[in-house]
Structure 1
Amino acid sequence: MRGLTWDHPRGYAPLDELTRLDLAGDNPYGPVPEPIEWDRQPLEGFESEPIAKLCETYDVLVIDHPGLGAAVDALVPMEELFAPEELAGLRFAGRSYESYHLDGRQWALPLDAATQVAAARHGVTVPGTWPEVAEPARGTRMALCLGGPHAFLMFCALCSGDFLDRQAGERALELMAELLASADRDVSLLNPIGVLDAMAAGAVDCCPLLYGYAGYPLAFSDAPAWPGQAPGSVLGGTGLVVSRRRAGEIREAVRAHLRRLVSEPVQTGLFPATGGQPAAAAAWASGGFYRATRATMDAAWIRPRFPGYIALQERSSALIRDGLLAKKPARDLLTELHEEWRNT
């Protein structure tokens, strides 16, 4: 069997360890009919490589939920693999399970859970509200996270998902411009891994909003909120899908692998021990990173999943990032963004 995951230890280390244990024999996490040989793609592959195309090569894939809309014809829904009562008994963090439910079917099981949170070097505190974040920004070595799709995702988080509302949109863009003016610009143009690497190396002290990675030696906390509101964040994480290409002949093996991967021993034991970031609700009930960010995970917004969304997300992010760098007025920048969505 062939599988595809993403090229970061969080994405491949737990899977490779299970395969190693399978090949060694007597896997303590339970047997499977045959191991999976996992290939890797860059994190950006979620945005650049259509899932349906990858399903021509792979049996099991680790995916991001926004790509589902254009892929469902190439996938096996979970209802064809598991009984309703088995699916109903699974428990995952936040709305992770719901994010893979589309058109009345469940297309994936959550493997990894993540959302945008605040991160800082130990001893540095990120304030709990956005007005407070803007206040000390001029005296703090801060970075934003605007690389790739993340300028748009920060904007969506600041709008609590309602980015077509003019008042919310203008307020979000004005705040992003204010924060960027006093942030480290070079670091701010990186993706989450780049920003976290820079923070761990001491180049910056904090980032108020980026996707959390439990394995970094940093202090993570709930995302800042607008006064009187829940933390605004956009759900991330990954899920396991099964391609139709050989579904009939490998059905029992696939079922065994998926059951094991979302089982509590694997999610709460092997995943944290090997650098993974589990999706199981039981793991997010533990301390440290998980407890510190769980309120944000529970409130996170699910992105659209219609065909073409990922390309639109990239274009929207580039438009926002370029507009912020050019110091374009928020009203004009928002008008351009709304025009981009109207023309979709």
Structure 2
Amino acid sequence: MRGLTWDHPRGYAPLDELTRLDLAGANPYGDVPEPIEWDRQPLEGFESEPIAKLCRTYDVMVIDHPGLGAATGALVPMEELFTAEELAGLRFAGRSYESYHLDGRQWALPLDAATQVAAARPGVVVPGSWPGVVEAARSGRMALCLGGPHAFLMFCAVTCGDFLDEEAGERALELMAGLLALADPALSLRNPIGVLDAMAAGEVDFCPLLYGYVTYPLTFSDAPAWPGRKPGSVLGGTGLVVSRRRIGEICDAVRAHLLRLTSEPVQGTLFPATGGQPAARSVWTGGPGRRAPGATVGPPAFYRDTLATMEAAWIRPRFPGYIALQERSSALIREGLLAATPARDLLKTLHEEWRTP
């Protein structure tokens, strides 16, 4: 069987370890009819490579939910692989499971859970409100995360998903412009991995909003919120989809792999041990069956301190063409912020982009 995942250790290390154990003989996490040989693509491949095209080559893929809308014709819905009781027994963090539900069908099982949160060097506290972040940025070394799609995703988070609302949109762009003026300009144009690498190297003290990675030796906390509101954040993470190309031949093997990958032992033990970031809700809440022997009660700080944000995270649109629109919108916002375009004018341009067929 052939599989495709992303080329960060968080995306491939747990999967490669399972394959290694399969090839070595009896796998302590459970046997499968045949192993999966995993290929890797860059993180940006989630946006650039259509899922339907990849389905011609791969049996199982790790994907991001916004690409679902253009791909469902090439995928096997989970209802064709599992019973209603099996699906009902699965529990995932936040709205991860819901993010792969489209047109009345479940198209993927969550593998990895993530959302935008605040990150800082140990000992640095990121304020919990956006006005507080502005004040902290005046005296601290801050970076934003505006590379690739992340300028638009930050905009969506700051508007709490109401990105077409004029008042919310203008306020968000004004905030982003003010923060960028106080931030490290070069680091702020990186993607989350680039910003986190710089932070771990001591080049910057904090970033108020970016996708969290549990493996970094940094402090993560809930995303900032507007006073009186829940944290604004855009759901990320990845899910497992199944191609229709050979499903008649490999249905039993696919079932075995997906059940094992979402199982308690794999999500709660193998994933943390190999640098993964599990989607299972129990990992995030510290539920039973997830702690290693001798571990303290409760989830690790990364999960505990960002759970509220995960629970409140907004699900992006998944209609065909959304990913390209997300990319164009992000470029518009990033270029507008760098050019100091007035928020009202920038928002008007953005809204025109969304009204264009």
TM range (shorter): over 0.9
Task: Give, as a single letter, the amino acid of the residue that structure 2 aligns with 1:223.
Answer: A
Are 2:344 and 1:331 aligned? Answer: yes
Indicate whether 1:59 and 2:59 are aligned.
yes
Match of 1:183 in 2: 183
Alignment match, 2:163: 163
- Partner residue, 1:265: 265
Q: Number of residue pairs matched? A: 344
Is 2:27 aligned against 1:23?
no
Q: What is the identity, as a one-letter code, of the residue corresponding to 1:126?
A: V
Match of 1:91 in 2: 91
Report % sequence identity: 83
Matched, 1:311 2:324: yes
Q: For residues 169 and 19 of structure 1, what CA distance do their matches in structure 2 show? A: 46
CA distance in 2, matches of 1:167, 1:132: 20
Aligned equivalents of 2:262, 2:112: Cα separation in 1: 9
Q: Distance in 1 between matches of 2:109 and 2:189?
A: 32
Query: How far 1:139 sits from its partner (Å)?
Result: 1.1
CA distance in 1, matches of 2:329, 2:229: 25
* Consecutive aligned runs of 4 or more in structure 1 exceeding 4 Å deviation: none
Q: Name the counterpart of 2:237.
A: 237
Structure 1: give runs of 5+ residues left out of the alignment: none
Which residue is equivalent to 1:137?
137
Paired residue for 2:292?
A: none
C-alpha distance in 1 between matches for 2:247 and 2:328: 35
- Name the CA distance, whole Å, in 2 between partners of 1:304 and 1:114: 17
1:162 maps to a residue whose letter is: D
Alignment of 1:1-344 (within 5 A): 1-285=1-285, 286-344=299-357
Q: For residue 39 of structure 2, give the secondary structure of its aligned residue in structure 1.
A: strand
Deviations 1:280-334 (A, max 9, x none): 0011111310011000000000000000000000000000000000000000000
CA distance in structure 1 between the partners assigned to 2:206 and 2:136 by the alignment? 12
- The one-letter amino acid of 1:326's match is A
TM-score (ref. length: structure 1)? 1.00
What SS does structure 2 have at the residue aligned with 1:259? helix
Give, in whole Å, the separation in 1 of the partners of 2:334 and 2:248: 46
CA separation in 2, counterparts of 1:221 and 1:264? 25
SS where residue 251 of structure 1 aligns? helix
Residue identity matched to 1:308: G
Report Cα offsets for 1:164-186 as digits up to 9, x if no partner.
Answer: 00000000000000000010011
Q: Which amino acid is the alignment partner of residue 16 of structure 1?
A: D
Deviations 1:135-172 (A, max 9, x none): 12121100000000000000000000010000000000
Equivalents in 2 of 1:60, 1:287: separation in Å?
30
Distance across 1 between alignment mates of 2:333 and 2:156? 11
Separation (CA, whole Å) in 2 of partners of 1:117 and 1:199 = 14
Q: Which residue identity does 1:238 align to in structure 2? A: T
One-letter amino acid matched to 1:111: L
Alpha-carbon distance between aligned partners in 1 of 2:300 and 2:43, rounded to the nearest angstrom:
27
| Cα distance in structure 2, aligned partners of 1:117 and 1:310 | 22
SS across alignment from 1:185: coil
